[in-house]
Amino acid sequence: MKLPPSKIGSLYRLDTTVYDYSISLLESVGMPGNIIRHSISVSEYVMEICAGIDNKCKIDRPLCIYGALFHDIGRSVSHGIDHGILGSEILMSLGFPDNYSLVCERHIGGGISKEEARSAGLPPRDYIPISLEEKLVCHIDNLVYGSKRVSIDHTLKRLRKKIPSVALERIKLLNSEMQQYM
């Protein structure tokens, strides 16, 4: 199911029909139901934060909300660290704009450095979130476990034995940076 040109234009505004279509798209690529529920929870949380950000700075709300909805689309293929890259490829193949693909590939943890990517067997480049939209989706993804909202301390404790300390520090830095918008 490729994103029709009529829907691509709709990605630049918030529209419940497009949101519902987007959920159908996740189902059509074989994304598991629990991951769809997680993505909806991340998207809803992002939607709440965006409502408060509008007064503080310019942000692409549709990119944040739909980017959050699609951030784990790669989990339809893999539950490994490569799911961000695979998701980016899926979104490109479906005709999504590049900025959606970047949200997808840069949402893991607090981002992945070029050296970490090389060590993990990923294409050697930086997967660190750069734009505010990428950072917001990445950060909120860290604050949703399953479909439940959790604290950053919960996330750090859960990941402490799973990821290198440098990656934990990057999550902490992202958390500090994003606090002004929370």
* Confidence (pTM): 0.88
Query: Closest by alpha carbon to 117, among 151, 166, 160, 182?
Result: 166
Q: What is the pLDDT along the chain (182 residues), one digit of tens a residue?
A: 444 444 444 444 556 667 778 888 999 999 999 999 999 999 989 988 888 886 678 888 889 999 999 999 999 999 999 999 999 999 999 989 999 999 999 999 999 999 999 999 999 999 999 999 999 999 999 999 999 999 999 999 999 988 888 999 999 999 999 998 88
How many Cα atoms occupy the beta-carbon half-sphere of 51 within 13 Å? 5
CA angle 80, 30, 126 (to 5 degrees): 35
Spell out where the chain has E strands: 144-145, 148-149
Full set of structural domains in the chain with CATH: 5-181 (1.10.3210)
Q: List Cα–Cα distances, 83 to 15, 26, 39, 88, 169, in angstroms.
A: 27, 14, 14, 8, 22
Separation of alpha carbons 59 and 131, rounded Å: 9
